[in-house]
């Protein structure tokens, strides 16, 4: 493994939270938009990406001639491997956001099924409109994504008396039962009331949940996306939701942010949050803990965790 000596941090606070750095590691501050503070691009071996809007600054990685390692602060790593190049290792922040994102998924489901979003709109008009709504109990849930976040969602669904069907990239069995292949999504969709996507974005998952899968869902079904926006075909989802046939509760969408004139904003069948799944109070202590472990590994010449591209390791 190549020696790593200088690590860039996206802001001064994150560096301060992790100081003193282990071993002979040295920290510089670089937001990937301006010149580094405390060092030069030529000195940087490893880069910790910003958490918010990291995708917008990925091209700056090409300016680091000796780049050996990139660490994301997100579970997703869309475009990071390509921007870092094959010579650099890349690690994700898998596990850091699992609890918070699972919380939001459950919150979105309950809010939409029980009409809490409509109650908020009614409250602004002092309108008292009792109505029988769907319960989460007895619903059949199709969970697409069986990684850390998917596992935490499934675990949190257990007390709600639902039936959960899990879908991954390939069919297999694990300690929690059977996992269906993603090729079975359309067939499975017909028998489920709620479809939750926590799938990562890749060539294989881009628009995986499109016209065919959405059309197979029964009338009134709820589509929840807390994974990656482009896994769901926005145009196909919009058509189904604005027609009144399906409901959606989405934290991610394609494109982001959703344009102000997009029809989903005005649809009573849509509940939209602005990509806040992992952006909760649990984030800071958990990312600091992970980064501390990663820096210890780098300083000691060990493999960092969550490698999604090996690079020099």
Q: Report DSSP state, residue 229.
A: G
- Distance set, CA 179 to CA 47, 285, 294 (Å): 36, 32, 31
| Chain-centroid distance, C-alpha 146 | 13
Question: In order of start, what are the domains of the chain with their CATH numbers?
Answer: 6-96+281-309 (3.40.50.720), 97-272 (3.40.50.720)
pLDDT band at 1 (very low <50, low <70, confident <90, very high): low
What would the pLDDT profile of 113-159 be if each residue is shown by its tens digit?
Answer: 999 999 999 999 999 999 999 999 999 999 999 999 999 999 999 99
Identify the residue whose tokens are 């850390």: 148
Cis amide bond preceding 20, omega within 30: yes
pLDDT at 240 over 70: yes
Six-digit token string for 228? 């990656």
Q: Which two tokens stand for residue 30?
A: 């670089």
Structure tokens at 134: 């769907």
C-alpha 292/C-alpha 281 separation (Å) is 18
Pairing label, strands 270-272, 177-181: unpaired
> If pLDDT is split at 50, 70 and 90, which confidence band does 2 have?
low
Tens of pLDDT, residue by residue over 267-278, are: 999 999 999 999
């Amino acid at each position: 493994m190549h020696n790593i000596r200088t690590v860039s941090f996206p802001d001064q606070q994150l560096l301060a939270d992790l100081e003193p750095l282990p071993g002979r590691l040295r920290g510089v501050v670089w937001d990937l938009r301006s010149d580094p503070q405390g060092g030069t691009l030529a000195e940087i071996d490893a880069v910790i990406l910003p958490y918010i809007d990291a995708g917008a600054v990925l091209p700056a990685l090409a300016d680091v001639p000796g780049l050996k390692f990139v660490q994301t602060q997100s579970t997703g790593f869309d475009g990071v491997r390509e921007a870092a190049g094959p010579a650099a290792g890349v690690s994700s922040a898998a596990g850091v956001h699992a609890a918070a994102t699972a919380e939001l998924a459950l919150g979105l489901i309950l809010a939409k099924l029980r009409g809490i979003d409509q109650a908020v709109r009614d409250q602004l008009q002092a309108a008292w409109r009792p109505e029988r709504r769907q319960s989460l109990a007895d619903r059949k849930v199709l969970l697409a994504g069986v990684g850390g976040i998917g596992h935490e969602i499934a675990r949190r669904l257990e007390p709600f008396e639902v039936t959960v069907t899990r879908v991954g990239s390939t069919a297999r069995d694990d300690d929690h039962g059977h996992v269906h292949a993603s090729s079975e999504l359309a067939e499975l969709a017909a028998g489920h009331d709620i479809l939750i996507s926590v799938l990562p974005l890749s060539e294989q998952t881009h628009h995986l949940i499109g016209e065919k899968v959405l059309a197979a869902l029964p009338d009134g079904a709820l589509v929840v996306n807390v994974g990656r926006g482009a896994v769901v075909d926005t145009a196909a989802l919009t058509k189904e939701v604005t027609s009144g046939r399906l409901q959606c509760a989405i934290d991610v969408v394609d494109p982001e942010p959703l344009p102000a004139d997009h029809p989903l904003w005005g649809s009573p069948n849509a509940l939209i949050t602005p990509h806040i799944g992992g952006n909760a109070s649990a984030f800071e202590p958990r990312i600091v803990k992970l980064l501390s472990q990663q820096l210890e590994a780098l300083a000691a010449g060990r493999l960092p965790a969550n490698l999604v591209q090996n690079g020099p390791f």
